Chains A and B, each alone.
Chain A
Amino acid sequence: MPLFFPSELRLDLKKEPEVEISGKKVLTFALAGNPNSGKTSLFNAITGAHQHVGNWGGVTVEMKEGSSVVDGREFNIVDLPGTYSLSAFSLEEKVARDYIIKESPDAVINVIDATNLERNLYLTVQLLEMGIRPVLAFNMWDEVRKKGLQIDLEQLSKLLDLPIVTTVGKSGTNCRKLLVEAAKMVDEKRTVYRKSCGDLPSEILSAIEKISLHKALHSVNKPQGWLALKLLENDRGVVEEVRGFDRDGSLMKSVAESVLRVKSVLGEDPEGLIAESRYGFVAGALRETLKKPPRNRIEMSDQIDRVLTHPVWAFPVFFFFMWLLFQLTFVLGDYPKKLIELLVEYSGHTVAALMPDSLFRSLIIEGVIGGVGGVIVFLPNILILFFGIAVMEDTGYMARAAFITDKIMHKVGLHGKSFIPMIMGMGCSVPAIMAARTLESENDRRKTILLSPLISCSARLPVYVLFAGALFPGFAGNVIFLFQFVFGTLAFFIMAFIFSKTIFKGEDQPFVMELPPYRLPTLKSVMIHMWQRAEHFLRKMGGVVLVFSIIIWALGKFPQDKEVQNRYETLINSVKSSSELTEQQKNQQVSELEDAMNTELIRKSYIGQMGNAIVPVFKPLGFEWREAVSLLTGFVAKEVVVSSMSVLYGSNENGVVDDDKFNSQIAAHFTPLKGFSFMLFVLLYTPCIVALITVIRELHSVKWSIFSVVYQIALAWIVAFGVYQGGRMIGLE
């Protein structure tokens, strides 16, 4: 006999929408659904270019918001994070659930991978439990046909009492119909689900009834029946929320008693029984309505996996893809990058020719053009890298990469999914840190955020190129490779191991990951993916780097020392008016005097004073004041280390670096050992200000943010100290 979820305990979570005159209000629809259900591509198809990253206070998981107009009616669409359930298991689930509860969208559109109804409808049941009556978007409908699945939509819709619209996110089929259906549901005031959605055993139902009457729950602004169900399920989020109202602990005691009673009567805990009843409900609805063809062929995905996760071939193929991604990013990306460099240089020259020599001209050329140029020059690399990553994600290969690498990552206390931030880190630490969001447990996520900046990002490359080129001319390529790929990754693994044995000791986190079927990505979705990340980079980096390059410029220009300028100008004039020197000698001496003047001016500037003040800290690593100043400016962005140094070594005229001169200056001032120590320090110390801000935002904790800065600087210092002093001891210098 089916037992119904008691309707009087049903969650009047959502008030009936306050649509006074139908069609007047802009309706807000939330898209909920499993990862890999094609939710994002459906969102893209619905909103097109009209989308932006939404901003909800305190929410760290990015949610996109967009709009669409159908028949003159405007809709606001919110793309919730993809989740398998609403149990607050991960940050994404908590965000999605809180959005639905707190923001009360007018309707929820539940996007479902129609080729995998059983698992996808599990989330639907959880929505029904909350009293939400969603519109079901049966997505990937084209694949349903190809797979030969037969779904009786009419019957299923009747059984579930939910409207169903079939959609194809890739092509945008039926997007309008979906919105119209959702609007119709709102207009008819049918967004609250009042029917039964499961056959829970009577012991559980009576436990729900008893708990829901507890006075502590009356203070919580959520439906009591739902809270009781969640408490029996041991839902972490609800337990934490309710605990504050349960001063005498009687509620939690009552929950614990109910759990024990259910266990003793039914031989299983409520958590399992509730999950079983949800699947039971889904299975019941599908029994009559879904017909699968007999499995007589091996699916395409299995075929592909025969190679891609093959015991022998998996790793060579994986390394080939990584190599390919790298080659595309940095070798192919080098051409547009060179072009941008030329354009920046050209703009510098143009401004220099148009404006009289003044402090303002210097601000424009060195501060503004140099600052902006320093950011956009990395755009080609970033676009290509994120294109590659988007292809890997959209095809489903990223999950396989985590599958084959998990054992290695797990050895150092990480998760296979930490591999994704690690790879991303080679492009830029900012998206890498953000990619740590895919990790479900707080500890794994925190560890990955702390470790990701150790992977050498592309902004550190110019430092290696400069030093390796100047100091290790015969094998510069190998040295660059070591720094760009090997040392950072080594540091990542060693620190991960140390962390997991010290501050992150404790229980392992689950690694239950879906291996979605391989799918051909659409160019559109890859482009949107790529552009959103590149835009994020430009927006975040552009402003910060511009502001800081102006600040650094000012710190380097002020205080203006007229005495030095006058002294050198007199000397230069005396050289120019000398009658004993040839024209060539004159030019050479003038240029030498100018360099000496610039160096002295910077040395007496604010930044020079700061650098001089911290020299004692850097002395044991072999660094002098110029290095100290460059590393200080490197907090802005690692590539700034190079441009600062070019100025400090007098190889930068009007924002343009004189490469040959700069190289010879580096070779003259650095021994290979000292350069090596410097490169190690640059590799390991705190990443640029943007990455630092991202770390702080993602960690959500002042304590951990401070720890992240301190441990990285300490690590950089210790390693550079060890290498430099060790090298000296064995006579390398």
Chain B
Amino acid sequence: MNLGRCSEGDRVKVLKMGGSGMIRKRLMEMGILKGAEIRVVKYAPLKDPIEVEVGDSHLSLRICEADFIDVEKI
């Protein structure tokens, strides 16, 4: 499942980081890497971007970026 398809409130675990280049690097620097646990906090009022909680940080990602991240529900 892609992170971009999750619903608000879902708790997920990262299986695989897709994508390449800067987006991937930045996501990993912010703590979104294999094995990380993520909570989908909410979608922006216009349904894009998405707010997620990783560790103690809240991050905002565009749906197209969240779609690079392969996750499973926990």
- With A116-B57, A119-B55, A510-B23 already in contact, the answer to whether A87 and B29 are too (CB < 8 A) is yes
Q: Are A118's CB and B56's CB within 8 A?
A: yes
- A271 lies within 8 A of chain B by Cβ: yes
**Among listed A128-136, A406-414, A576-584, interface-contacting one:** A406-414
Q: Are B46's CB and A408's CB within 8 A?
A: yes
Give Cα distance in the complex from A229 to B59, angstroms.
Answer: 27
For chain A residues 97-131, which have a beta carbon within 8 Å of chain B?
115-119, 122
Contact of A512 among B42, B45, B65 (CB under 8 A): B65
- B54 surroundings in chain A (CB, below 8 A): 119
- B56 surroundings in chain A (CB, below 8 A): 115-119
B37 CB to closest chain A CB (Å) equals: 12
For chain B residues 9-57, which have a beta carbon within 8 Å of chain A?
17, 22-31, 33-35, 41-49, 51, 54-57
- B73 lies within 8 A of chain A by Cβ: no
- A511 surroundings in chain B (CB, below 8 A): 49, 60-62, 65
Give Cα distance in the complex from A408 to B49, angstroms.
Answer: 11
Give Cα distance in the complex from A474 to B22, angstroms.
Answer: 54
A209 CB to closest chain B CB (Å) equals: 23
Q: Are A399's CB and B41's CB within 8 A?
A: no
Q: Are A311's CB and B65's CB within 8 A?
A: no
B28 CB to closest chain A CB (Å) equals: 4
Q: Are A404's CB and B44's CB within 8 A?
A: yes
For chain A residues 122-162, which have a beta carbon within 8 Å of chain B?
122
- A513 lies within 8 A of chain B by Cβ: yes
- B1 lies within 8 A of chain A by Cβ: no
Q: Are B28's CB and A272's CB within 8 A?
A: yes
Closest to B16 in A: A268
- B26 surroundings in chain A (CB, below 8 A): 84, 89, 440, 510, 512
Contact of B29 among A84, A115, A399, A509 (CB under 8 A): A84
- A314 surroundings in chain B (CB, below 8 A): 44-45
- B22 surroundings in chain A (CB, below 8 A): 89, 441, 509-510
Number of A residues, CB within 8 Å of B:
48
Q: Are B28's CB and A512's CB within 8 A?
A: no
Q: Are B28's CB and A515's CB within 8 A?
A: no
Q: Are B34's CB and A268's CB within 8 A?
A: yes
- A416 surroundings in chain B (CB, below 8 A): 49, 60
- With A89-B25, A314-B45, A407-B46 already in contact, the answer to whether A272 and B33 are too (CB < 8 A) is yes
- B64 surroundings in chain A (CB, below 8 A): 508
Give Cα distance in the complex from A440 to B27, angstroms.
Answer: 14
- With A272-B17, A404-B45 already in contact, the answer to whether A512 and B23 are too (CB < 8 A) is yes
Give Cα distance in the complex from A314 to B62, angstroms.
Answer: 18
- A122 surroundings in chain B (CB, below 8 A): 29, 31
- A279 surroundings in chain B (CB, below 8 A): 31, 33
- A315 lies within 8 A of chain B by Cβ: yes
- B62 surroundings in chain A (CB, below 8 A): 406, 410, 508, 510-511
- With A302-B41, A315-B45 already in contact, the answer to whether A87 and B58 are too (CB < 8 A) is no
Q: Mark A637-662, 1 if CB is under 8 A from B, else 0.
A: 00000000000000000000000000
- A245 lies within 8 A of chain B by Cβ: no
For chain A residues 488-544, which have a beta carbon within 8 Å of chain B?
508-517
- A275 lies within 8 A of chain B by Cβ: yes
- A605 surroundings in chain B (CB, below 8 A): none
- A312 lies within 8 A of chain B by Cβ: yes
Q: Are A512's CB and B55's CB within 8 A?
A: no
- A589 lies within 8 A of chain B by Cβ: no
A493 CB to closest chain B CB (Å) equals: 15
Closest to A511 in B: B62
Q: Are A403's CB and B44's CB within 8 A?
A: yes
Q: Are B29's CB and A271's CB within 8 A?
A: no
- A338 surroundings in chain B (CB, below 8 A): none
Contact of B30 among A84, A309, A315, A402 (CB under 8 A): A84
Interface centre among A234, A315, A513 (most CB of B within 10 A): A513
Q: Are A309's CB and B49's CB within 8 A?
A: no
Give Cα distance in the complex from A508 to B22, angstroms.
Answer: 10
Give Cα distance in the complex from A552 to B35, angstroms.
Answer: 66
Interface centre among A275, A312, A407 (most CB of B within 10 A): A275
- A305 surroundings in chain B (CB, below 8 A): 41-42, 51
For chain A residues 246-290, which have a beta carbon within 8 Å of chain B?
268, 271-272, 275-276, 279
Can you sample 23 A-B contacts with CB below 8 Å? Answer: A84-B26, A87-B25, A89-B22, A116-B55, A272-B34, A275-B28, A275-B33, A276-B34, A276-B35, A302-B41, A305-B42, A309-B51, A399-B60, A402-B60, A404-B44, A406-B60, A508-B62, A510-B62, A510-B65, A512-B27, A515-B51, A515-B58, A516-B58
Give residues in A with beta carbon < 8 Å to B. Answer: 84-85, 87, 89, 115-119, 122, 233-234, 268, 271-272, 275-276, 279, 301-302, 305, 309-312, 314-315, 399, 402-404, 406-408, 410, 416, 440-441, 508-517
